[in-house]
Amino acid sequence: MTDNDDILDPTTAAFWTAAADGKLVVQRCAACGHSQLYPRPFCLACDSTDLTWAETPGLGTVYSCVTVHLPVRADLPPPYSVGLVELDEGPRLLAAVPDDAAIGDRVAARWQPGDGGARPVLSFAPAGSLADAAEVVS
C-alpha cells in the first residue's frame, strides 16, 4: 500500500496503489465479466456497480504506435515511441513502447517508480522480457 498524496481521484486510487506494488490491475465487473480502464463507478457494458479489481499479467498487443520527434517535456527527450496497447483482458493503455515497436507486436507492461513520490510510470517492453520486468519493480 501507499499513502500517496498525489492520488486525488478515489475511483482510481486502487489502480495506483497496485501500480506502486508493481502490479497492473483492471476493473472487472462481477455481474458480466467485462474489464475496463480507466475505472468508473459502474460497468460500461451492463451498468452494474458490482466492480472488483483484477491483477493482470500485463500482456498485450500494440494497437497503434508512433515515434514523437517533438520536444514535449524536459524529462522526455525525443525521439521516443508511444503506443496504444490493448491488454489481453480488453482495455487499452497509452504508454511508452519499444523504439522499434510495430502494430501487432506482443508487449508486456512494467512499472517504474515515479520521481520524487510521483505516480509510478507505465511502459511496455517486448513480451519476452516479462521476467526482466518483474525484477525491475521488485
Partner 1 sequence: MPEFCIAGVAESPLGHVTDQSEPSMIALAAMAALDEAGIARTEVDGLFVNYLGEEGSVQLGEYLGIEPSHADSSDLGGGSWVGFIGHAMAAIAAGQCEVALLAYASRQRTLRKRSRAHVLAPPPPESITAQFDQPAGVPVPIGHFALVTARHMYEYGTTEEQLASVAVTGREWARLNPKAWRRDPLTVADVLASDRICGPIKKLDCCPITDGGGAIVVTTAERARAAKRPPVGIRGWGESHTHWHPHQRRDITSTAAVRSGRQAYEMAGIGPEDVDIFQPYDAFTITPILQLEDLGFCEKGAGGEMFAQGHLRPGGKLPAMTSGGGLSYTHPGAFGIFLVIEAVRQLRGEAGDRQVNPAPKTALVNGIGGLCSYSSTVVLTND
Closest CA to 112 of 127, 129, 133: 133
Give the whole-angstrom CA distance, residue 102 versus residue 88.
17
Residue 96 C-beta: closest distance to partner 1, Å? 6
Peptide bond before residue 80 is cis, with ω within 30 degrees of 0: no
Q: Name the segment binding Zn ion (CB under 5 A); options: 35-43, 74-82, 96-104, 116-124.
A: 35-43
Residue in 19, 20, 24, 43 binding Zn ion, rule: CB under 5 A:
43
Give the whole-angstrom CA distance, residue 105 versus residue 119.
27
Give the whole-angstrom CA distance, residue 68 versus residue 74.
14
**Site for partner 1, rule CB under 8 A:** 6, 8-9, 12, 16, 37-38, 63-73, 76, 80, 82, 84, 91-96, 103-104, 119, 121-122
Residue in 9, 11, 40, 48 binding Zn ion, rule: CB under 5 A:
48
Residue in 6, 9, 46, 117 binding Zn ion, rule: CB under 5 A:
46
Give the whole-angstrom CA distance, residue 25 versus residue 45.
18
Residue 51 as a binder of Zn ion (CB under 5 A): the answer is no
Closest CA to 108 of 64, 61, 63: 61
Residue 3 C-beta: closest distance to partner 1, Å? 15
* Residue among 7 and 127 whose Cβ is closer to partner 1: 7
The partner in contact with residue 84, picked from partner 1, Zn ion, none with C-beta cut-offs of 5 to 8 angstroms by kind, is partner 1
Closest CA to 26 of 5, 1, 44, 8: 44
Write out the residues near Zn ion by the rule CB under 5 A.
Answer: 29, 31-32, 34, 43, 45-46, 48
